[in-house]
Structure 1
Amino acid sequence: MKISFLGAAKEVTGSCYLVETEKTKFLVDCGMFQGGEVEDELNYQEFIFDVNDIDFVLLTHAHIDHSGRIPLLYKRGYRKRIYATKATVDLCRYMLPDSGHIQEMESEWKNRKRKRAGKPLREPLYTADEAKDSLSIFYGVDYEEIIEPAQDVRVRFNDAGHMLGSSIIEVWVNEKGKETKIVFSGDLGNKKIPLLKEVTPIKSADYVLCESTYGNRLHEDIGDRAKKLMEIIIKTVKRGGNVIIPSFAVGRTQELLYELHKNRELYKDEIEFLNNVPVYVDSPLATSITNVFTKHPEYWDSEAQEYIKRGDLPLDFPNLHFTHSVEESKALNEIKTPVIIISASGMCEAGRIKHHLKHNLWRPECTILFVGYQAKGTLGRKLLEGEKNVKIFGEDISVKAEIEYIESFSGHADQKGILDWLSQFTDKPRKIFIVHGEDEAQEELADKIENQLGIETLIPSRYDTYNFEEDKLFTAEAEDKVKLSVELTNKIEEMKLRSDKALNKLQELINSKDITKDLSPIVSELNNINESLMKLYRELLD
């Protein structure tokens, strides 16, 4: 048996793992790479497997960095089943066509630029209609239900507490009369996420693929979250500004609505003030997803279910408004009194949030409030890191608004949460593969696991393959010529983009004659590219 790490390996997005047994080949997740131009190009690359060889797909949850390339898989010929929880299937019915619509809009905009530059045009990764077609092969299962998608494979989905329907997946593989158990953590939930249940403890595994998004971080005290949210809003409103919240349409938006709605007894004065501030959810997708949440109260925690028993609606209150049309969205920026606007995308890379940032970033009385992880290269990450000028729709925007971040709203477990979950294994895994994280987070988490839990860890790179029989992690296998050729071509294209991007940044600094600017990030990136080229050269010689 082998497992190949095709995404979310030394990176946070693009989750995808290929498992190959004697008889069966299957994927766990098929996610989209998110970030900048380099990540966008990765989405267009050829899969390093033949889609017709894949027997089934297991999907941990609906977030696009885990599900977003499923329509592309379908577009390229895959027609077998995709297994996910019933809530995940319901969420994907809205999220994947929405992703297809974004692909169409982004492609149209980029093609206009390509045409002006005399470059060849490119079709969207997939369309909204192609995404809708892919939904025909989804198959919903219940938590704790054991299924047998192949003769030699059994599977069980468990609540990961990360978002509605999110899963930790247990996989048992029978090979040569021996059973091996692999656990895929998916994205592990933070403690006490509004509406959601806690992360399911798993007691045994031979191998674990464990996420590490916050592997080197501890979240702030979760008990202060609601209070801090209200304080930021009230402070901004009192100085006459808008609160713009880039939020993931799935999960985070619903959690925010819940936090604004509850705690009436504890924060009576604050709630009374907030009741006079209009809250706009400016995302048709978030509106649809909120309806999915109300359809699945069986996934909610006991607190939220108590609200329902009392006849209260946790995701509704008098000053809440949902916008639908583009005209309604545009009209929000004409409102002269302070408002709260919750809009997607959560990393500020696409959608209506970019328009709201364009209209509010330059205003010092406003606040941009982040409540979720921002991947490297995204506009959200740049704002969090303190950039004072950003480009939105090709226009230079000066950043004068206050930038805030409430990390405890994160849907991901922090370092302690991950270690707590791993420590509950009564039968310790032989190895833990650290995935879905940036370098620093992965390395620190790996050290903690080995020192505190005494379990060996491995940090695979993209395209690495672990051979269970040989107990060894390999880079591309030279005997697999087709796979190797595609992989090397993909790597070369990626390095071209990274190099162009770094050199363009360097040229911009030279043109600006800003000698005070720290060049070390650009130099570091160019050194990394050089090292990657040397590694690639050695692979070609081998």
Structure 2
Amino acid sequence: MTFPVITHHGGTRGVTGSCHQLHLDSATSLLIDCGLEQGADARPDSPTLGFDISGIQALVITHVHLDHVGRIPALLAAGFRGPIFCSEPSAKLLPLILEDAFKLGISSEPAQVARFLLLLKGLVEPIAFGQWHSLLEHEHLQCRIRLQRAGHLLGSAYVECDISTPAQSCSTRVVFSGDIGAANSPLLRPVQPPERADVLVLESTYGDRLHPDRRERRQRLEAVIDRALADQGTILIPAFSLGRTQELLYEIEEVLHLKGLLDSSGAPASDDQIDWAQLPIILDSPLAQRVTQVYRELHQYWNDEARLRLSEGRKPLGFTQLVCVDSHAKHQQVVNYLKSTGRPAIVIAGNGMCSGGRIVNYLKAMLGDPRHEVVFVGYQVRGTPGARIQACEGMLGGVGVDVWGEQYVLRAKVVTLGGYSGHADQAGLVGFAMGGKSPAKRVVLVHGESGAKRVLAAALSAQAFPRHQVAITVPT
């Protein structure tokens, strides 16, 4: 067998569960991500590890979404005690994400949670972006890694693995994309493609489509808010606590800032005009609040535009109208208040696919009322409640929808707001694979539906021809 060899322990059946083992020789390997399968991708045993950890020297994390890190508790339970390498922002975010997951999926008993977090924090080793870090320095084998910004969420990275042996005249470069972010992302710095990749393990979530122009999405968000609030209802936005929530807050702050400038211009207000200065933006997720606080603390990793807003005295992630709901009792009070009063408000609550979390109570209370609007800003995995609700978009009148084991009559409006994907589209993925100094020689497509992989494979081949050939494989 010729090394290096890659074994996939997830991320091949759909868009979740990314977990890839890079075998450097017959007894030595690295693990890139250790994610949980979710939604229709999930097997009944998916919370378990599902593979032998013998010979794994280290775990390298691309970012801290659960579909990339959710099996770490199982990995530690199996006896793994090697280093967990990640970016500096990811090192701060990982304990927050896994503490919440541990409490929900394993145990909420305080002593067990504390033991898990102590073990986890002792293994995490943050490394700086753009700097090579040596993992192995054996006589017969050397391996070093480098993290580069991936633009998916704060701290997200793609992983370059440089492997050399005495028999090689040139090292082998294996690159794992993790999740590549879309262009023009608020808060985040842009992605630069790898300088070279002998093997590129590439995500393909949106390999079969192009996104709407993200530069116009703030205007689209404002238009949706204007229309929904004219009905004196609540806008319900299901959003994951990490990444999407912070982007939404950033752009809602921009909308409020511009509306405030207009309101202060002296133009007369109509009787039915919305008082934007009094519009509550309700963040109902304790985890999202903790993550947002970490985002604020890590502002040195923001892009230039976001840091400029800070220098102007604005608070993109902590503006005055932001209302944070902590306790469950307060959450229930807010749900009942909004249901009964019809006061305009924007609610951001987890989780993003409506399969659990506080958004479920809002939806159960308000799906039957046409004043309200459910706004989706992210991909809905097949089989999730979010996907079933989203499928009703554009239907008029009462529509029966089976969610959370019950039948609900959906009268609230449903809209999908484009341009908020955290993943690169086809053009972004092709540019990432082919835009470096030396385009990828072999591409392994993972983390996507079969149709997206097939279309992306054709686009990659077309881009490469006739300058060079690229070998494309799709593991199953």
- TM category, shorter: 0.7 to 0.9
TM-score (norm 1): 0.77
Asked if 2 retains the 8 angstrom alpha-carbon contact of 1:358 and 1:392, the reply is no
Q: SS at the partner of 1:13?
A: coil
Equivalent residue of 2:9, what SS?
Answer: strand
User: Is residue 2:207 matched to residue 1:193?
Assistant: no
Residue ranges of structure 2 left out of the alignment (5+ in a row): 265-273, 394-398
Structure 1 residue 156 and structure 2 residue 156: aligned?
Answer: no
Residue matched to 1:367: 373
TM-superposed CA distance for 1:43, in Å, is 1.5
**Whole-angstrom CA distance in 1 between matches of 2:470 and 2:383:** 31
Q: Counterparts of 1:131-530 in structure 2 under 5 Å? A: 131-132=116-117, 133-151=119-137, 152-178=142-168, 179-262=171-254, 267=259, 268-269=261-262, 273-335=275-337, 336=341, 337-386=343-392, 388-454=399-465, 455-462=469-476
Determine the structure 1 residue equivalent to 2:15. Answer: 12
Label 1:128 to 1:349 Cα distance change in 2 as closer, same or farther (>3 A). Answer: farther
SS at match of 1:293: helix
SS in 2 for 1:407: coil
Distance change in 2, residues 1:224/1:80 (3 Å)? same
1:24 matched to which residue of 2?
Answer: 28
State the distance in 1 between where 2:429 and 2:19 align. 20
Structure 2 residue aligned with 1:89: 91
Contact 1:100 1:129 in 2 (8 A): no
**Inter-partner Cα distance in structure 2 for 1:339 and 1:264:** 13
String of CA shifts for 1:512-536, please: whole Å, max 9, x gaps: xxxxxxxxxxxxxxxxxxxxxxxxx
User: How many angstroms apart in 2 are the aligned matches of 1:324 and 1:53?
Assistant: 43
**In 2 relative to 1, CA 266–61 (structure 1 residues): closer, same or farther, beyond 3 Å?**
same
Gap change, CA 1:253 and 1:47, over 3 Å in 2? same
Query: Alpha carbon RMSD of aligned pairs, Å?
Result: 2.3
Moved more, 328-337 or 38-47: 38-47
- Structure 1 residue 143: Cα displacement: 0.3
Pairwise CA distance, 1:240:
2.0
Give the C-alpha shift of residue 141 in structure 1: 0.8
Q: Is the 8 A contact 1:100 1:130 kept in 2?
A: no
Aligned equivalents of 1:306 and 1:428: distance in 2? 35
Using the aligned pairs only, state the percent identity.
Answer: 32
Deviations 1:270-306 (A, max 9, x none): 8984332111100001000011101111210000111
TM-score under structure 2 length normalisation: 0.88
Deviation at 1:167, TM superposition (A): 0.2
- In structure 1, the partner of 2:270 is none
SS at match of 1:275: helix
> Contact 1:446 / 1:457 at 8 angstroms: preserved in 2?
no
Q: 2:453·2:474 contact (CA, 8 Å) conserved in 1?
A: no
Separation in structure 2 between the aligned mates of residue 175 and residue 379 of structure 1, nearest angstrom: 50
What is the CA–CA distance in structure 1 between the aligned matches of 2:344 and 2:113, rounded to whole Å?
A: 35
User: C-alpha separation between the residues in 1 aligned to 2:366 and 2:98?
Assistant: 29
Moved more, 266-275 or 421-430: 266-275
What secondary structure is seen at the aligned counterpart in 1 of 2:241? Answer: coil
Offset from partner CA, 1:433-460 (integer Å, 9 cap, x none): 1111111111000000011223434343
| Closer, same or farther: CA 345–264 of 1 in aligned 2, 3 Å | closer
Structure 2 CA distance for aligned equivalents of residues 153 and 257 of structure 1: 40
Q: 2: CA distance between counterparts of 1:353 and 1:244?
A: 8
Q: Is the 1:85–1:143 contact (alpha carbons within 8 Å) kept by the matching residues of 2?
A: yes
Does the 8 Å CA contact 1:30/1:70 hold for their aligned counterparts?
A: yes
Q: What is the aligned residue count?
A: 442
Partners of 2:125 and 2:368 in 1: CA distance: 47
Q: CA deviation at 1:385?
A: 2.2
Distance 1:184 1:223 in 2: 28
Q: CA deviation at 1:42?
A: 3.8
* Runs of 5+ consecutive residues of structure 1 not aligned to the other structure: 109-123, 463-542
Distance (Å, rounded) in 2 between the aligned partners of 1:421 and 1:157: 15
